[in-house]
Chains A and B, each alone.
Chain A
Amino acid sequence: MTDTIDLLEAIGQDASLRHASAEDLGKVLAQAQASEALTAAVASGDSTRLSAEFGLMQNKTPEGILSPAREDEPEEEDPLEAPVPDANPLPSQK
């Protein structure tokens, strides 16, 4: 079986695969013995199907938010010490 991340990388950088139809891509995946999750994701056009393989981690919503709408908040203390991550990260993550 070809590794899913390797396959995704290969699809992403190949002009004949990146915009191929689900059907054509399906054939390539069958040949490469792609995982069930990847095959299902491509066939259905629903990439959340990959969660069957990777768990619920596709849309890490907060991590997409990188920009504050305002910067006028006072800086409390200069965190010169590198902070410790929150012990209790969001339940849906990783």
Chain B
Amino acid sequence: MDTSALTHSNNTCRGSLACVGMGMTLGSHLTPLARSHIERADVVFAALSDGIVEKWLQRLHPDVRSLQPYYQEGKSRLKTYREWVALIMAEVRAGKRVCGVFYGHPGIFAWSPHKAIEMARAEGYEAHMEPGISAEDCLYADLGIDPGRFGCQHFEASQLLFYERRIDPAGYLVLWQVGLVGDWSLARFQTGPAYRQVLVDRLSQDYPLDHEVIVYRGATLPIEKPRVRRVALCDLPNIPLTVEETVVLPPAEPLRLNLAMRERLDALDALEKAGKEVQA
């Protein structure tokens, strides 16, 4: 098929924004659509967790600007993220076709892409997000977990400590950014065992201390294997743990029947059955 007629040239100087995901593993996860957004952009901004993946991205576009230099230990990340949005928006407003490239999925545990898209749209620019394969997706595949089986909650680990949240130990619990748990300042890149102990204390309200937790790191390079470590909850503070790792708590309780709902459904079933008998 000759598809050249489909690729119309968009020469308007109207700025636009696409936030796309690079996926997790170099070479394996970049969708054709995300690649196309990157290739046809005027400017590409990048927030990738692996330097070699960033090198790969640089092959796809001559003007890749790393967002990395805006991080600074001691400076609130929220400020950094706002700066990223400002950088992106400055180019959109200048009439550029801008592509923001984020590792994994650009909208999963990632503040700036959502914010930039919201802002661009509010100012009348075309903006959208293309999904990518996230750490979450890799985790389900590598650990053999189906989130639909018992249900699955996801939390930014610090949020469990900062706010009153309700955990359901009959389902899976996935904790992100455990490596910097408890950092109220948003200005640290890592916190230590004492902070993780607070997390364990919070979790021990819902789980036994010997409950097995899984510490997971998915492959970012295609020559890597996933790293899966299983430890008792009480040992979580004392193992080396990087910011790249995700912590999974499998269910600790069986599903319990909801008898009140069962009764209502049984009553409905009986009504339906009686109705059918009347009709027959």
Cβ–Cβ contact A66 & B56, under 8 A: no
Cβ–Cβ contact A13 & B186, under 8 A: no
Q: What is the 8 Å Cβ interface bit string for chain B, positions 83-127, against chain A (1 contact, 0 not)?
A: 100110010000000000011000001111000000000000000
Cβ–Cβ contact B71 & A63, under 8 A: yes
Cβ–Cβ contact B86 & A83, under 8 A: yes
Q: Give the residues in chain A near B184, CB-CB below 8 Å.
A: 70
Cβ–Cβ contact A57 & B51, under 8 A: yes
With the chains together, A71 CA to B162 CA distance in Å?
11
What distance in Å separates the Cβ of B135 from its nearest Cβ neighbour in chain A? 10
Q: Give the residues in chain B near A11, CB-CB below 8 Å.
A: 27, 222-223
Cβ–Cβ contact B77 & A10, under 8 A: no
What distance in Å separates the Cβ of A11 from its nearest Cβ neighbour in chain B? 4
Cβ–Cβ contact A8 & B27, under 8 A: yes
Cβ–Cβ contact A69 & B102, under 8 A: no
Cβ–Cβ contact A54 & B186, under 8 A: no
Cβ–Cβ contact A73 & B70, under 8 A: no
Partner among B50, B83, B102 whose Cβ is within 8 Å of the Cβ of A83: B83
Asked if A1 lies at the interface with its beta carbon under 8 angstroms from chain B, I say no
Asked if B68 lies at the interface with its beta carbon under 8 angstroms from chain A, I say yes
Partner among A57, A65, A93 whose Cβ is within 8 Å of the Cβ of B243: A65
With the chains together, A18 CA to B76 CA distance in Å?
39
Cβ–Cβ contact B190 & A61, under 8 A: yes
Partner among B27, B48, B68 whose Cβ is within 8 Å of the Cβ of A93: B68
Cβ–Cβ contact A83 & B47, under 8 A: no
Cβ–Cβ contact A41 & B86, under 8 A: no
With the chains together, A82 CA to B75 CA distance in Å?
17
- Among B7-15, B175-183, B203-211, B254-262, the stretch that binds chain A is B175-183
Interface band, chain B: 35 or more
Among residues of A, the one whose C-beta sits closest to the C-beta of B56 is A5
Among residues of A, the one whose C-beta sits closest to the C-beta of B110 is A66
Cβ–Cβ contact B81 & A68, under 8 A: yes
A41-B223, A60-B51 known; A69+B68 contact, CB < 8 A: no
What distance in Å separates the Cβ of B68 from its nearest Cβ neighbour in chain A? 5
Q: Give the residues in chain A near B90, CB-CB below 8 Å.
A: 81-82
Q: Give the residues in chain A near B158, CB-CB below 8 Å.
A: 69-70
Among residues of B, the one whose C-beta sits closest to the C-beta of A12 is B27
Among residues of A, the one whose C-beta sits closest to the C-beta of B55 is A5
Cβ–Cβ contact A64 & B49, under 8 A: yes
With the chains together, A17 CA to B222 CA distance in Å?
9
Cβ–Cβ contact B78 & A5, under 8 A: no
Partner among A65, A73, A86 whose Cβ is within 8 Å of the Cβ of B177: A65
Q: Give the residues in chain B near A54, CB-CB below 8 Å.
A: 51-52, 55
Q: Which of A9, A57, A62, A89 has the most CB of B within 10 A?
A: A62
Cβ–Cβ contact B111 & A62, under 8 A: no
A66-B102, A69-B186 known; A90+B73 contact, CB < 8 A: yes
- 9 closest A-B pairs (Cβ-Cβ)? A12-B27, A57-B51, A69-B158, A85-B69, A64-B49, A12-B222, A66-B110, A67-B109, A82-B90
- The 15 listed contacts between A and B (C-beta, < 8 Å) are A5-B59, A8-B222, A17-B222, A38-B223, A59-B49, A60-B54, A61-B190, A66-B47, A66-B102, A68-B81, A68-B186, A79-B82, A82-B87, A85-B69, A94-B68
